[in-house]
């Protein structure tokens, strides 16, 4: 096991790099920034139509940048692992906005339509949504020479698009079958979870299964059972499978709702992010997770920079994303967040290595289920509608 550098050493290394960069760029860069700022002020535009990000001429640092974030451990881990060293190195404060990602997507879209600056400088969201927002042209492409750490990421963390880098994915997770052992014992007399998702079609699991409010994380499983790809013209076999599972679904909700549902035993099993119950598991609560034989959906979370930012905010927001992809930063982040990172030079934690719920290498992804992101972007609204009409009505 290699010796991990301390955060101070990492920060010092970055500081030296930055000092070297500035000495090289020096006077010309600073003057260019002033000229560009003055020009931008004269034109009075907040749009990014005329922005060109030049890594050799970084613009002046803004006072702060805003990152959309999930609350709780998600924001705390980013604050400690990424924001603090970023602020230490650059002097830029990092603020967080906990607006729900779906609401923020609308806010960004509206801001761009109205030629306003968006509410956030860095959009931290789920990978399918990041791809959808790329397709909607809401993001300003990441500059590969600024987000240099993208070269160290797994291939799966880089979007498969033609000629740009719209976003990068930073860590992965699975919608594992999470369970409450005591509830399992009450329902079927054993603390051991089922080997297959198919068991949940049985009557004894009526109302014992929890799932994301839109069915996120379960569509690929339904697709497996129906033997029908999600991009098929006829999705009826998939919806027939959903009908078969429907009596078992007793709770729909967001992450906190599902987590609480499993912790309190409101339901016995859930298809949910396993790291949401990791803390409870560590505290000795009778909770666990497994990957059934059909597999489980794997997903990532991504970051991108929305359009219509000032050049300064755009540049340093991309620099922030580069920090988030840095191997040393990701090493600390993975400890705080409890999820496997996508930088191939990041050492996964010991408990992740043997657990298929934590994909720590390219090969690990092969046994998990995914959704084609273009198919998701084009069809997910219809899937959600059908799912909710089936389960919610």
Partner 1 sequence: MSIDNNQRLQNLKWRVMDRLIAAKETLPREWYQSQPNWLGYVLIVPGVLLVSFLFVGLLLLAGYSVLTFDPIEFIVYEFTLENWRNFLTTEAYYRIFARTVGMATLITVLAVAMALPYAYLTVRTENAVLRKLLLVCLFVPFFTGVIVRAYGWMIILGQNGLVNTGLGVFGIGPIRLIGTEHGVIIGLLQIMIPFAIIMIAPAIQNIDRSLELAASSLGSNRLETFWYVVLPLAAPGIAGATIVVFTLTSATYAIPALVGGGRVDFISNVIYRALFNMANYPLAATFSISLVVVSSIIVLGIFRSIGTGTLGVTEGGTHE
The residue (of 229 and 250) whose beta carbon lies closer to partner 1 is 250
The residue (of 180 and 342) whose beta carbon lies closer to partner 1 is 180
Q: Quick one: tokens of 3? A: 């010796």
Query: What is the rounded CA–CA span in Å between residue 393 and residue 391?
Result: 6
The residue (of 257 and 345) whose beta carbon lies closer to partner 1 is 257
With binding defined as CB under 8 A, does residue 160 bind partner 1? Answer: no
Question: How many other β-carbons are positioned within 10 Å of the β-carbon of residue 71?
Answer: 10
Alpha helices in 227-367 (DSSP H): 236-245, 255-264, 278-282, 311-324, 327-337, 350-353
Query: What is the rounded CA–CA span in Å between residue 58 and residue 26?
Result: 10
Q: Quick one: tokens of 227? A: 């033997």
Q: Calculate the CA 372 to chain-centre distance.
A: 16
Minimum distance of partner 1 from residue 138's CB (angstroms):
10
Site string for partner 1, 113-132 (x = CB under 8 A): -------------------x
Alpha helices in the chain (DSSP H): 7-43, 73-78, 84-90, 101-113, 127-135, 181-188, 219-226, 236-245, 255-264, 278-282, 311-324, 327-337, 350-353, 373-391
The residue (of 105 and 275) whose beta carbon lies closer to partner 1 is 105
Minimum distance of partner 1 from residue 105's CB (angstroms):
7
Q: Quick one: tokens of 162? A: 């033609």
Place of tokens 């940048």: 65
Alpha helices in 53-139 (DSSP H): 73-78, 84-90, 101-113, 127-135
With binding defined as CB under 8 A, does residue 229 bind partner 1? Answer: no
Minimum distance of partner 1 from residue 186's CB (angstroms):
9
Burial class (CB in 10 A: 0-12, 13-18, 19+), 244: middle
The residue (of 297 and 360) whose beta carbon lies closer to partner 1 is 297
CA angle 243, 252, 188 (to 5 degrees): 70
With binding defined as CB under 8 A, does residue 39 bind partner 1? Answer: no
Site string for partner 1, 233-272 (x = CB under 8 A): ----------------xxxxx---x--x---xxx------
Out of 19, 102, 204, 361, the residue judged to bind partner 1 by CB under 8 A = 102
Minimum distance of partner 1 from residue 213's CB (angstroms):
5
Out of 4, 100, 240, 366, the residue judged to bind partner 1 by CB under 8 A = 100
With binding defined as CB under 8 A, does residue 392 bind partner 1? Answer: yes
Scanning residues 185 to 214, which ones bind partner 1 (CB under 8 A)?
Answer: 207, 213-214
The residue (of 112 and 146) whose beta carbon lies closer to partner 1 is 112
Residues, the chain: 393
The residue (of 237 and 250) whose beta carbon lies closer to partner 1 is 250
Cα distances (angstroms) measured from residue 128 to each of 42, 177, 225, 302, 339: 39, 21, 22, 9, 18
Per the DSSP assignment, residues forming a β-bridge with 53 are none
Minimum distance of partner 1 from residue 134's CB (angstroms):
10
The residue (of 13 and 264) whose beta carbon lies closer to partner 1 is 264
With binding defined as CB under 8 A, does residue 105 bind partner 1? Answer: yes
The residue (of 109 and 188) whose beta carbon lies closer to partner 1 is 109
Minimum distance of partner 1 from residue 387's CB (angstroms):
10
With binding defined as CB under 8 A, does residue 393 bind partner 1? Answer: yes
- List contacts with partner 1 (CB under 8 A): 100, 102-103, 105-106, 109, 132, 135-136, 207, 213-214, 249-253, 257, 260, 264-266, 377-381, 384-385, 388-393
């Amino acid at each position: 096991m290699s010796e991990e550098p301390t955060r101070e050493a990492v920060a010092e290394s970055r500081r030296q790099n930055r000092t070297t960069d500035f000495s090289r760029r020096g006077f010309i860069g600073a003057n260019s920034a002033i000229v560009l700022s003055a020009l931008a002020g004269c034109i009075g535009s907040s749009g990014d139509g005329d922005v060109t990000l030049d890594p050799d001429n970084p613009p002046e640092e803004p006072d702060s940048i805003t990152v959309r974030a999930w609350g709780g451990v998600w924001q705390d881990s980013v604050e400690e692992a990424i924001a603090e060293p970023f602020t230490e190195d650059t002097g830029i404060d990092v603020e967080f906005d906990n607006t729900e990602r779906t609401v923020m997507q609308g806010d960004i879209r509206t801001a761009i339509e109205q030629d306003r600056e968006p509410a956030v400088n860095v959009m931290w969201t789920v990978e399918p949504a990041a791809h959808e927002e790329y397709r909607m042209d809401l993001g300003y492409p990441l500059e590969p020479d600024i987000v240099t750490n993208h070269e160290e990421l797994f291939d799966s963390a880089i979007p498969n698009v033609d000629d740009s880098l719209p976003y990068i994915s930073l860590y992965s997770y699975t919608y594992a079958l999470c369970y409450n052992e005591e509830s399992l014992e009450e329902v079927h007399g054993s603390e051991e979870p089922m080997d297959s998702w198919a068991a949940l079609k049985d009557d004894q699991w009526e109302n014992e299964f929890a799932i994301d409010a839109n069915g996120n994380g379960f569509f690929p499983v339904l697709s497996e059972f129906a033997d029908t790809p999600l991009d098929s013209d006829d999705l009826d076999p998939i919806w027939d499978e959903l009908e078969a599972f429907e009596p078992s679904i007793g709770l729909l909700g967001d992450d906190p709702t599902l987590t609480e549902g499993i912790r309190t035993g409101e339901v016995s099993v859930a298809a949910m992010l396993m790291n949401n119950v990791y803390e409870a598991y560590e505290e000795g609560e009778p909770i666990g997770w497994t990957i059934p034989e059909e597999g489980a959906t794997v997903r990532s979370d991504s970051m991108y920079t929305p359009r219509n930012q000032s050049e300064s905010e755009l540049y340093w927001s991309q620099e922030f994303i580069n920090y988030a992809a840095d191997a040393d930063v990701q090493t600390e982040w993975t400890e705080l967040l409890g999820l496997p990172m996508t930088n191939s030079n990041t050492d996964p934690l010991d408990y992740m290595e043997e657990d298929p719920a934590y994909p720590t290498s390219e090969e690990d992804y092969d046994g998990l289920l995914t959704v084609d992101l273009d198919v998701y972007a084009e069809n997910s609204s219809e899937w959600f509608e059908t799912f909710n009409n089936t389960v919610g009505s």
